[in-house]
Amino acid sequence: MTDDYAALAELAGGFIHEIKNHLGTLALNLQLLAEDFPDPETQRERRALQRVQRLQSECQRLVEISNDFLRFARMWDLTLTPADLPKLLEEMIDFFGPTAKSGNIDVKAYLPADLPPVRLDRELFKQAILNLLLNAEQAMPEGGSITLQAGVDNGHVVLHIIDTGQGIAPDVLAKLFTPFFSTKTGGTGLGLATTRRIMQGHHGSIDVQSEVGKGTRFTIRLPAAR
């Protein structure tokens, strides 16, 4: 990370932290105001309570956006240690299992046991993988399958995460990793942008291919550890 970027990230982090302090004060006062209408009786009181609750909802959304932005802005200084990728992915599949089962999703894994180790920040990498799995789950409201395939190519470990979901339109696909771009109601648009930043912090990359009506494939490339 360059010194200029580090300074900008630090400035942005301080700015967002200050905003969150004011949001905390705003949320507290909105809560106190809502308590003045425990049992609204008149139309005016009900309307006032609805407006307060709407402001509370918007305040909470601003907090969520702020937290996502902080994670995005401070995603360069990773602690990388050699890790067994198949073992880590099996842990994530096990963790994701209840969500997959409730969504009628079959998760398949083809992970060679002899894959070379990769250098990972385990928690951040797991966060990125979980984000991709959840995206796949949301793309298959009627159920489907998610397949994880791994292999080696030219000194890199390559991981494919493939779903049989709705697919992504070309115009959306071109903006998929753009910060604050989202097609989801209530989404912050930083999930996939943060996932890409995490992969870049691992000296790797992530790409996507998709076809509407057939599904999506994310491809992660990570340098094999020496």
Residue written as token pair 């601003």: 62
**End-to-end Cα spacing for the chain:** 22
Q: DSSP character for 224?
A: B
Q: Are 193 and 177 in contact (CB under 8 A)?
A: yes
Residue written as token pair 């997959």: 100
Helix (H, G, I), strand (E, B) or coil at 222: strand
| Alpha-helical runs (H) found in 151-220 | 170-173, 191-201
Structure tokens of 25?
């004060």
Residue 217: the pLDDT is 97
Helix (H, G, I), strand (E, B) or coil at 182: coil
Helix axes 3-34, 43-73, angle to 10 degrees: 160
Tens-digit pLDDT string for the chain (226 aa): 555 555 666 666 677 777 878 888 888 998 888 888 888 888 888 888 889 888 988 888 888 777 777 766 666 667 889 999 999 999 999 999 999 999 999 999 999 988 999 999 998 899 899 989 999 999 999 999 999 999 999 999 999 999 999 999 999 998 888 877 777 766 667 788 888 988 988 999 999 999 999 999 999 999 998 7
Residue 17: the pLDDT is 72
